[in-house]
Amino acid sequence: MTRDDARLQRLLETERKKLLADLAYFEQVEYTDISSSNHLADAATAAYDQASDLALLRQAKHRLKRVDRALEKFSNGCYGYCECCGEPIDFARLKALPDARFCLQCQRKREVSGDSPAPGPKALEQGELNHNSKESFA
């Protein structure tokens, strides 16, 4: 094997540790009682902070899933292979994105067809909008 898989695995493990530390921090602040503040402005600021923390928390959880999945592939011996076509993923792509699930070709195909590997809330919203638009404007 010519790819430096050990290095990629270390990268993923380092990121996993960082994400776990982030998550531990976010879990701790998530449940802070903002109503304990006497000042409305303070409460608003706290609410805003918590909202952005929650967004980051969701993002970190999502990242962790991807990293875990990639690390799992190391133990299965299928790391670095496209989940769609089974071809090896370009090493340059893996270096830039160690948790890549698809080769560049398949990733592009999925993006074009709209069949995203992990449909985000945006994609779902768009689907709903398209579905409802005809009825609501009739």
Phi and psi torsions of 88, nearest 5°: -65, 140
Nearest to Zn ion of 56, 84 (CB atom): 84
Of positions 19, 57, 67, 106, contacts Zn ion by CB under 5 A? 106
* Helix ranges, 88-120 (H): 91-96, 104-113
Min. distance of Cβ 67 from Zn ion in angstroms?
Answer: 20
For Zn ion, the closer CB: 27 or 115 = 115
**Nearest partner of 66 among 53, 52, 83, judged by Cα:** 83
Q: Any idea what DSSP says for residue 34?
A: G
Shorter beta-carbon distance to Zn ion: residue 43 or 97: 97
Pick from 51, 85, 123, 124: which binds Zn ion (CB under 5 A)?
Answer: 85
